[in-house]
Amino acid sequence: MKALLVGVMTAALAVPAMAQKKYDAGADDKEIKIGNTNPYSGPASAYGQIGKAIAAYFKMVNDQGGVNGRKINFVSYDDSYSPPKTVEMARKLVEQDQVLFLFQTLGTPSNTAIQKYMNTMKVPQLYVATGATKWNDPKNFHWTMGWQPNYQTEGRIYAKHILATKPNAKIGILYQNDDYGKDYLKGMEDGLGDKAKTMIVSKVSYEVSDPTVDSQIVQLQASGADTFFNITTPKFAAQAIRKAYDIGWKPVHYLNNVSISVGSVLTPAGLDKSVGLITAAYLKEPTDARWASDKGLEPFREFMKKYLPDANIADNFNIYGYTVGATLVQALKQCGNELTHENIMRQSANLKNLRLDTLLPGIVITTAPTDYAPIEAVQLQRFNGKQWELFGDVMTSQ
Amino acid sequence: MDALLHQVLAGLATGGIYASLALALVMIYQATHLVNFAQGEMAMFTTYIAWSLIEAGMPYWAAFILTVLTAFMLGVLIERLIIRPVGQAPVLAVVVVFIALLLILNSVTGWIYTYTIKTFPSPFPAQPLFGNRYLSSHELGAIGITLVVLLLLYAFFRFTPLGLAMRAAAQNPESSRLVGIRVGWMLALGWGLAAAIGSIGGMMVAPIVYLDPNMMSGVLLYAFAAALVGGIDNPMGAVIGGFLVGVLENVLGAFVIGNELKLSVALVIIIGVLLVRPSGFFGRVQVSRV
Amino acid sequence: MSRKTLVLAIVLLIVACALPFVVSNYRTFQFTLVLVYAIALLGLNILTGYNGQISLGHGAFYALGAYCTAILMDRWGVPYWATIPVAGAVCLGAGFLFGLPALRLEGLYLALATFALGVATPQLLKYHLLEKWTGGVQGIVIMKPAPPFGLPLNPDQWLYFFTLAIAAVMFILGWNLIRGRIGRALVAIRDQHIAAEAMGIHNALYKSLAFGVSAMFTGVAGALGAVAVQFVAPDSFNIFLSIVLLVGIVVGGLASISGALYGALFIQFIPNIADEISKAAPWAIFGAFMIGFVYLMPTGVAGAVRLLTARRKAP
């Protein structure tokens, strides 16, 4: 009898103290189902590379054993950058495919369209792929969180730099006529404060459907500006850099972070024509000579060779997808066996000084229940004809 | 004044882009009486073929000629395989097929070549002519090539029997068959020529705007406008229309209404011109028997 | 209308009413969008199919209707059901006004002018002077309407029935128009406009009216679409929308009322299917489907159905 009692007690103690297993729809012992929308067709299809990079990253994670023993099932649909389509696909993912949460849905209008829905359904809309400022609003939208440094912050940082180094500058701005362009513009105007009206001598826009921005560059030169804030996407950035050089306009040239790739923007524009460009960055740039022998980037280079062999490593979107994927994996690891909507949000808002090798040194990821902006710091860098040279300290918008 | 001159010259450069695509549109219209929405994408796709050849090591002019020939064959193939089977369908059905071609070419190119921009070499020297800051040698050269193509086209339609046969086949297929013209092959020839002209246009445009799958999407409206405003059946009108549209767009955008309303102004201009001259500036006024 | 068609229509209506109770909310939402597109395509068909005026810019009227609803609901708190007739009226006027200069333009030239309208629409919506009302690039978010009178329906189902009711009204309106004098006048103008004028049909008036009515239908569709999606932004209404509408009426069947429904099903579901088939090049698959449909059914699905039923009737 005593032996039986001891046996039973031993058996009871031997049962490992397992963490509580709690699942919401989309998670179980074997997999975590994640939903995403990206523009794989239409005029914004260049951004679809982010979706492909993320899918490849999760494949690598799965090959290495998954997260806490679970494989990631990444379901991504095409929304052609059209908000009504995004709404439809988001509903499909949440209601029909029963994903655990949405991750890196792309585009400001697309995310605006589904924000209310996601928060009503209480399903996380995590690490959205847009730099708009509105995603850092935990009080009103508990379930929506951004990831990259937002555009207005970057604009303000450039404004601060101008005020500090060239307080009498005459600023000309070229911006894309959409939410991305206007957000950067607002950041710069806010950063300049009262002096915005006097310092900004020319604001010129362009549409994505325009063949070239040559006319706009000519306009900016004619306005007498000696400082240029270049808010353009890669193709137009290359055109702008080259045209400015060709017409003999040599302003102090601030280039927005979206177009800093040496391989896919500066080289087509002409490396000699890009000398002196200033930008703010948070990711390492794989085609930049300064990281050519960086040990930290080796896993990324291996990843590109093995999982995205046809992609262009010069395309920023690949390292972006890799880094945001790594951020999510960390949050998921912290969730352990409690894969519920609430815990996903809690852990995503609980990243403390997360350091990833693909981020520039000095830049970390931090979130808190009142801080839904994971990356808030950037570092200014200047192009010297061969590579980007970091200067100054890591800056935030404060 | 300097700013105005600069904008006008920049407008001529972009106008050259519109003119080259407009020429291809006119070509296909003269041969088939249809406007091919996929013309821009065909030009873009053939330019990628040229890029691949040059990347593989072929010298520029060899790649150029090979691409033009390939484009010609591609045009003929498309007409025979894709357009011919829907020949009897209502006009709008054929338009839908053109739209489908546009989507397919755009999507397939993006898939094969990715969306990262690529530089395309120029056969013209890098130094601007006389060191001027307004137009690069390539932009001048591109305008020159467009004019040469225009002249060749004009001569072809006006002075060669083949050109006459093509025009006849498009205007009146029934009577043409009666006089022995192989109407089917005339159509295919028209498509081939249009594709070839488009490829030349693409190779002239790519060094200026960089090569990417969406290179020609924005150009279509302006090329369409240039072709119609200049007269859809008149190649010279299309070229002049292209330059006009380019200059107007730049000047109005820079000095009059700002870039934020450029497209709406284009709309108003198009309607305005067509109201006053419904067949375009240089088009032949259509007189139809009642 | 023959007895057979009437019976068919009633059966269709019954099936449509039963739908939201057998499928999920998500599918109900999709079918609401199908109804929205059907109304828009009916409008475009009146202009292009029956009256022969090619419009490559009907997305502009769709956008106008959508923004009417959004602005009325968001800035002035007008209830959603009251915005629909207002959107229709505004688009009727806008379409008529656009139709006036369009009178001078034929075929290709009209296509160009409407194409320019379609291309210019997003830029106009983003224009900074209008930003106060349109919300500029940020767009306008709309509240989801709740079922009234405490009906035991969830919001998706209620919205579906609301849209179904309006669709039924619009279809009956359209059918009446086409079968009557006005419809015959439109078709006469399309086929032989000089003879039509000689017979006493006031071409200019009818053609402009066709534009206005067609815009009204599409505007109502846009308004309903805005309520269903709960969001309007300039980039939702680019040239691709206009092109897709044209593809819809051709694939569905020109000059056909049922064609509007077939076309709506095509443009709503085929892109999704294309996406499932290939993530790398979804548009290519969509284009392939379009070519396939046009090859097999050059007169549209409605035309093919007509052929099939005629063949079965013949001895």
Mark yes or no for CB contact A109/C139 under 8 Å. Answer: yes
pLDDT in the model for residue A15: 45
Q: Is residue B83 part of a domain?
A: yes
Q: Residue B290 — very low, low, confident or very high, per pLDDT cuts 50/70/90? A: low
pLDDT in the model for residue A176: 93
Task: Please tell me the distance in Å from B265's CA to the nearest CA on chain C.
Answer: 9
pTM score above 0.95: no
Q: Is residue B260 part of a domain?
A: no
* Residue at token pair 């009216």: C209
Token pair recorded at residue C183: 């419809």
Task: Please tell me the distance in Å from B136's CA to the nearest CA on chain C.
Answer: 30
Q: Could you give the count of Cα atoms lying within 13 Å of B175 in the half-sphere of its Cβ?
A: 7
- In three-state secondary structure terms, A78 is strand
Chain C positions in Cβ-Cβ contact with residue A135 (cut-off 8 Å): none
Is the Cβ–Cβ distance between A260 and A279 less than 8 Å?
Answer: yes
Is the Cβ–Cβ distance between C256 and A21 less than 8 Å?
Answer: no
Q: Does B266 touch chain C (CB under 8 A)?
A: yes
Mean pLDDT of chain C: 90
Q: Is residue B289 part of a domain?
A: no
Chain B positions in Cβ-Cβ contact with residue A53 (cut-off 8 Å): none
pLDDT in the model for residue A18: 47
Mean pLDDT of chain B: 87
Q: Could you give the count of Cα atoms lying within 13 Å of C87 in the half-sphere of its Cβ?
A: 32
Report how far residue B89's alpha carbon sits from residue B95's, in angstroms, rounded to the nearest whole number.
10
Long-range contacts of C128-135 (CB under 8 A, 24+ apart): C128/B260, C133/C71, C133/C75, C134/C67, C134/C71, C134/C234, C135/C70, C135/C74, C135/C232, C135/C233
Q: Is residue B25 part of a domain?
A: yes
pLDDT at B71 over 90: yes
Range of the domain at B37: 17-216
Mark yes or no for CB contact B115/A206 under 8 Å. Answer: no
Domains: count for chain B: 1
Give me the sign of the Cα torsion angle C252, C257, C258, C262: positive
Chain C positions in Cβ-Cβ contact with residue A115 (cut-off 8 Å): 141
Angle at A294 between CA A292 and CA A300, to 5 degrees: 90
- List pLDDT tens digits, range B222-231: 888 888 888 8
Q: Which of C48, C124, C290 sits opposite B100 (nearest CB)?
A: C290
Report how far residue A24's alpha carbon sits from residue B75's, in angstroms, rounded to the nearest whole number.
55
Mark yes or no for CB contact C123/B86 under 8 Å. Answer: no
Mark yes or no for CB contact B267/C113 under 8 Å. Answer: yes
Give me the tens of pLDDT residue by residue for chain A, a chain 398 residues long: 666 655 555 555 544 434 578 888 888 889 999 999 999 888 888 888 999 999 999 999 999 999 999 999 999 999 989 999 999 999 999 999 999 999 999 999 999 999 999 999 999 999 999 988 889 899 999 999 999 999 999 999 999 999 999 999 999 999 999 889 999 999 999 999 999 999 999 999 998 888 889 989 999 999 999 999 999 999 999 999 999 998 889 999 999 998 988 888 999 999 999 999 999 999 998 888 888 889 999 999 999 999 999 888 888 899 999 999 999 999 999 998 999 999 999 999 999 999 999 999 889 999 999 989 999 889 999 999 888 888 888 887 65
Q: Could you give the count of Cα atoms lying within 13 Å of C298 in the half-sphere of its Cβ?
A: 11
Select the residue from A49, A185, A214, A221 to test the B interface by mutation, using most B Cβ atoms within 10 A. A214
Select the residue from A210, A245, A258 to test the B interface by mutation, using most B Cβ atoms within 10 A. A210
Mark yes or no for CB contact C141/A42 under 8 Å. Answer: no
Q: Residue B87 — very low, low, confident or very high, per pLDDT cuts 50/70/90? A: confident
Report how far residue A291's alpha carbon sits from residue A286's, in angstroms, rounded to the nearest whole number.
7
- List pLDDT tens digits, range C103-120: 888 777 888 889 889 988
Select the residue from B17, B116, B136 to test the A interface by mutation, using most A Cβ atoms within 10 A. B116
Crossing angle (nearest 10°) for helices A316-335 and A298-307:
100
pLDDT in the model for residue C314: 67
Closest CA to B78 of B106, B51, B105: B105
pLDDT at C279 over 50: yes
Task: Please tell me the distance in Å from A283's CA to the nearest CA on chain B.
Answer: 19
Report how far residue A159's alpha carbon sits from residue A231's, in angstroms, rounded to the nearest whole number.
14
pLDDT at B56 over 90: yes
Q: Does B20 touch chain A (CB under 8 A)?
A: no
Is the Cβ–Cβ distance between A47 and A39 less than 8 Å?
Answer: yes
pLDDT in the model for residue C59: 95
Q: Chain-centre distance of CA C38, in angstroms?
A: 5
Mark yes or no for CB contact A87/C229 under 8 Å. Answer: yes
What's the mean pLDDT in B21-50? 90
Q: Is residue B223 part of a domain?
A: no
Select the residue from B33, B267, B268, B290 to test the C interface by mutation, using most C Cβ atoms within 10 A. B267
Q: Does B264 touch chain A (CB under 8 A)?
A: no
- List pLDDT tens digits, range C56-71: 999 999 999 999 999 9
Token pair recorded at residue A67: 């997260």
Provide the total of helices (H) and of strands (E) in chain B, helices listed first.
11, 0
Report how far residue C12's alpha carbon sits from residue C16's, in angstroms, rounded to the nearest whole number.
6
Q: Which residues pair with A394 in a beta bridge?
A: A379
Q: Is residue B115 part of a domain?
A: yes
- Three-state SS string over B14-45 comes to HHHHHHHHHHHHHHHHHHHCCCCCCHHHHHHH
pLDDT at C44 over 70: yes
- List pLDDT tens digits, range C146-204: 888 878 888 889 999 999 999 999 999 999 999 898 888 999 888 888 888 888 888 88
Mark yes or no for CB contact B209/A211 under 8 Å. Answer: yes
Chain A positions in Cβ-Cβ contact with residue B248 (cut-off 8 Å): none
pLDDT in the model for residue A1: 62
pLDDT in the model for residue A14: 46
Q: In C150-230, at which residue ranges do the beta strands (DSSP E only) sit?
A: none
pLDDT in the model for residue A156: 92
Report how far residue A120's alpha carbon sits from residue A25's, in angstroms, rounded to the nearest whole number.
16
Q: Is residue B163 part of a domain?
A: yes
Instruction: Count residue pairs from B and C with Cβ separation < 8 A.
Output: 125
Report how far residue C125's alpha carbon sits from residue C120's, in angstroms, rounded to the nearest whole number.
9
What phi and psi values does residue A356 have, to the nearest 5 degrees? -120, 145
pLDDT in the model for residue A275: 94
| Secondary structure (DSSP) of A349-396 | T---SB--TTBPTT--B--BTTB--S---EEEEEE-SSSEEEEEEEE-
Q: What is the ipTM of this complex?
A: 0.89
Q: Which residues pair with A173 in a beta bridge?
A: A203, A229
Q: Which of B3, B210, B263 sits opposite A239 (nearest CB)?
A: B210
- Burial status of residue A346 (CB atoms within 10 A of its CB: 0-12, 13-18, 19 or more): middle
Higher pLDDT, B166 or A3: B166
Q: Is residue B73 part of a domain?
A: yes
Query: A291: how many CB neighbours lie within 10 A of its CB?
Result: 19
* Residue at token pair 């109804």: C35
Mark yes or no for CB contact C236/A82 under 8 Å. Answer: yes
Q: Which of B114, B118, B214 sits opposite A311 (nearest CB)?
A: B114
Instruction: Count residue pairs from A and C with Cβ separation < 8 A.
Output: 86
Instruction: Count residue pairs from A and B with Cβ separation < 8 A.
Output: 96
pLDDT at B119 over 80: yes
- In three-state secondary structure terms, B225 is helix
CB contacts under 8 A, C 268-297 vs A, are 271, 275, 279-283, 286
